[in-house]
Amino acid sequence: MAILYPIQYELNPKSQERGMRWATLSLKNIGNEGLTLLDVRLNSLDAYSITVHGTGSYVPSLGPKEERILPFQMQANATGRVYVSLDGFKNGEPFHWESPDMRLKVGQELAELVSLFALTQPYPPAGEQIKCEATLLGLVSSRGLRLEFWAETPSADFEELGTVETKDLSGGEAVRYAAEVTPEEEGLYTIHAYLYHGTRRIGHKVDKVYVKKT
């Protein structure tokens, strides 16, 4: 079980088939003080991939060394990330705790979009071309996946940077693809990479770049 003081926690299973599924969250209070009136939630960082049903669980008290196992029902559509939050009281004072996010694998995808990085110095100047590089990892043999690059500008335009049909990939093979953007506005650009198998989105990554005026 992972530890983030004063909670020891574990979510199981870490891999699910698609569909309506159950996961169990084990929580243990490893601190010296009791926790009370706990609102326990499993939060999704992309509700399209994983939707956790219900509004959470309630634990009236979790004393020192005490452990609870809580079930959560979810609609699992694609691999995603979730995290746990606890809101309650410790020694009569409001208490908030949250775990780091945890990857929950759903189904067997053909490939994984591992990362997206804008290859630039911090705070690049407007007018300078920036290369954005996505890394894919084949999980089984695949062909003809579609990788799209997009940029959200500070003025909220959403511009397509490029679309690539990926080469044939074998399991374990890593490959990099890139697109370019030349920001013209000062402010925050959000770069997106989307990986599709047919019409199914199997990966999405973002990177952010703050562009300064020259």
Cβ distance to other proteins smaller for residue 66 or 112: 112
Backbone Cα Rg of the chain: 21
Beta carbons of 187 and 211 less than 8 angstroms apart: yes
Under rule CB under 8 A, residue 96 binds other proteins? yes
For strands 67-76 and 50-52, give the pairing.
antiparallel
Phi and psi at 71, nearest 5°, equal: -90, 145
Binding mask 23-62 for other proteins (x = CB under 8 A): ------------------x-xxxxxx--xx--x-------
State the nearest-atom distance from the C-beta of 178 to other proteins, in Å: 11
Pick from 66, 112, 133, 173: which binds other proteins (CB under 8 A)?
A: 133
* Residues binding other proteins (CB under 8 A): 2, 4, 41, 43-48, 51-52, 55, 75, 83, 85, 87, 93-96, 98-101, 114-115, 117-123, 133, 135, 150, 152, 156, 158, 188, 190, 192, 198-201, 207-208, 210
